[in-house]
Amino acid sequence: MAKVKGAIVVDTERCKGCNLCVVACPTNVIELNEEVNIKGFNYAYPKFHDACTGCTNCATVCPDMVITVYRFKPAKA
């Protein structure tokens, strides 16, 4: 079965590390990085990117609009 795949891009410099996207992700793709951005926040990053389904939950709850979501639907074989 063709599985829908997703990917996210996080604008790390604008991320405030609030952790809301980590909680909202149903497939536990996102985690906070141990490294910090220019403002000193532990920014979110897709740690287990392969599990992403492109559901947009993370971007929907992100208060700072730092996440862009892409989705790829493979053509049916």
Site for other proteins, rule CB under 8 A: 2, 5-7, 9, 14, 16-20, 23-24, 41, 46, 49-50, 52, 54, 56-57, 59-65, 67-74, 77
Question: Distance between CA atoms of 50 and 5, rounded to whole angstroms?
Answer: 8
Least distance to other proteins from the beta carbon of 76, Å? 10
Q: Are 43 and 15 in contact (CB under 8 A)?
A: yes
Smallest distance from the beta carbon of 28 to other proteins, in angstroms?
A: 14
Query: Do 76 and 51 meet the contact criterion of CB atoms below 8 Å apart?
Result: no
Residues in the chain: 77
Q: Which is nearer to other proteins, 33 or 61 (CB)?
A: 61
Task: Locate 43 and state its tokens.
Answer: 């920014």
Supply the minimum distance, in Å, between the C-beta of residue 66 and other proteins: 8
